[in-house]
Structure 1
Amino acid sequence: MQWDIFCKVIDNHGDLGVCWRLACQLAASGERARLWIDDATALNWMAPTGCDGVRVIDWCDPVAVQRAAAEPAPDVLIEAFGCEPAPELIAKFAEAAAAGNAPQRAWINLEYLSAEPYVERLHRLPSPVFKGPGVGLTKRFFYPGFTPATGGLLREPDLAQRQALFDRARWLQAKQIPWQEGERLVSLFCYEPPALAALLEQLAAGPTPTRLLVTAGRATRAVEACISNGKTATPTSSGLGALSISYLPYLTQPDFDHLLWACDLNFVRGEDSLVRAHWAGAPLVWQIYPQDDDAHHTKLGAWLDWLGAPPSLRLFHHAWNGQGDTPLPPLETQGPWRETALAARERLRAQDDLLAQLRHLVAGKS
């Protein structure tokens, strides 16, 4: 079947990251995928070699839109994260649906990831279209999630096998990361967390040698700002005391997975990296995307509840996400934090992955 995925980049590359993974998994399973994107710039480093079976279309190019409107309509139309396709493309889809020549034709509204209770209530619900070029059709909500009553998480069929074969030392050497045996590895993919300076201080003063692997972009700028503005005692990029810092270039999606597999603790942000950190199975700390009305705190709490986070991990998340005046507790890479991460991964592995559930919905529409 032909699947069209529509994605508008809001910021921080997460929306594109999710949609690109979905498109690639569709292609790997024998489907045809077109990814409509208004800004594909990040694919230059996220997926520089592209993917066989995935066609990227510039949503802002009127010529590309006209050409696609002249082609056969897709069997499945996916609106990712509330974006709306061009009216002429919806009209083409509606015309094909009315002709009835593709009984599995489906219109899916792919929503954001959350562990909040409403996700189970709304997952798979129909949404009739009452106006516009798609009038008379019905969309269906598809909510990714962490429980069997939701749409699950993106997971490639061979992910566990690839991770089992991963050689940490070889990958670190290939990336020219000066790691030494016995040095704790911590990845940092974040926005500008309020407790960042406190984390750097804690790592520098700690008893365990730690190498902080800082991802390119906002995380690098945030760490450099802490150091240059004197918010932390760490004076140089080479670190102080027990802390050493390595600044990474932008990583492809496979190499971002490798980074998470290589580390003893992963700091992640947004949606796509949270899912990949769960599959890594190492202890993780999530910086949730901040919202003005603090609604993200409710979302964070729901995820911590599902996770069964021990008190120390819950308090660390509160401090990391600026919730209250909680001081930053000591971080852990073993014990309850690691046990919690491994248990969560096993629960998720026992559930159907997102693509399997999405294909089931398309086939049954119920």
Structure 2
Amino acid sequence: MHPDVISDLAELDTTLGTVEAVLDVEELRRRVDELEQQAASPDLWNDQEHAQQVTSQLSHSQAELKRVETLRQRLDDLPLLYELAEGEQGDAEAEATADADTERAGLRTDIAALEVRTLLSGEYDERDALVNIRSEAGGVDAADFAEMLMRMYLRWAERHGYGTEVYDTSYAEEAGLKSATFAIKAPYAYGTLSVEMGTHRLVRISPFDNQGRRQTSFAGVEVLPVVETTDHIDIAENDLRVDVYRSSGPGGQSVNTTDSAVRLTHIPTGIVVTCQNEKSQLQNKVAAMKVLQAKLLAVKRQEERAQMDALKGDGGSSWGNQMRSYVLHPYQMVKDLRTEFEVNNPSAVLDGDIDGFLEAGIRWRMRGTDD
């Protein structure tokens, strides 16, 4: 093998070894065995909430173990691929070597992605994420941009096979969204997406301007961890005002004709949340309570630490700080203003290809906490 290949394989082996040590693969195997025994218990489903926790943890642990074991196997197989290539002649050797190089590049990307996961060690990082998007300055273009961002995150989740649940979509009059709230259900969804918190900026030729002028518009993204029973976020009934109203949205038969939408106002803090995407008033109230509890958890942490550093992954009050620009005109570029990470394919990014930005953001945040 070429000395550069040998050096690169040694570096990959060191990086993967560090990841394996952090994940504690032997402990992970023991954990999978323990959860499998619990899942096989005949009385597991006597307690549905506990059963769901066990099966969810088992699924996550099995996937994590398979992921790291697969990477180790691929890395162990790579030298053999190069040896086989060297045994070929002419074009066959060149083609086999190119295949091995492609596998090595892919392996480097996959190991780096798993390495980023090991950086997510915050108190809430492993939880599901609750994402709130709202249009800001820029009128109808901002509302349209808010809808573009919502689609971007939902497509990202779809690409990875993550579950999603939309709690509320408040449509703007002409186009787009005033605001939207949705959950992304996956291990470490909060830790991964928390670096998206802040103000996103779009520059383009406005499709809503008759004169075809360039328009700059803004949308805000807020990311919170989904509340669990262990958080003890209790809401007194007297502190809550519940209003019901008819859901609104694009016309047609899908618009509800009953007062099923729910607005919750937490009187002590003034926090207001709405939910109108479920079919019944009760379902909407349950979903709205989840959102309200997540927001109150953020307030609780703020009071405990005097700032939101623990929840706002970029070390400050980023709700209102510009963090990324999406430029569609006069050139094509998406650039993160904190990490300097950029790509020249906005359409791919807006279609959910944001892993590069997420990884760069997580590494940037970790550097900030190390300083």
Question: Do the two structures share a fold, i.e. TM-score over 0.5?
Answer: no
Provide TM-score, normalisation by structure 1.
0.27
Question: Higher Cα Rg: structure 1 or 2?
Answer: 2
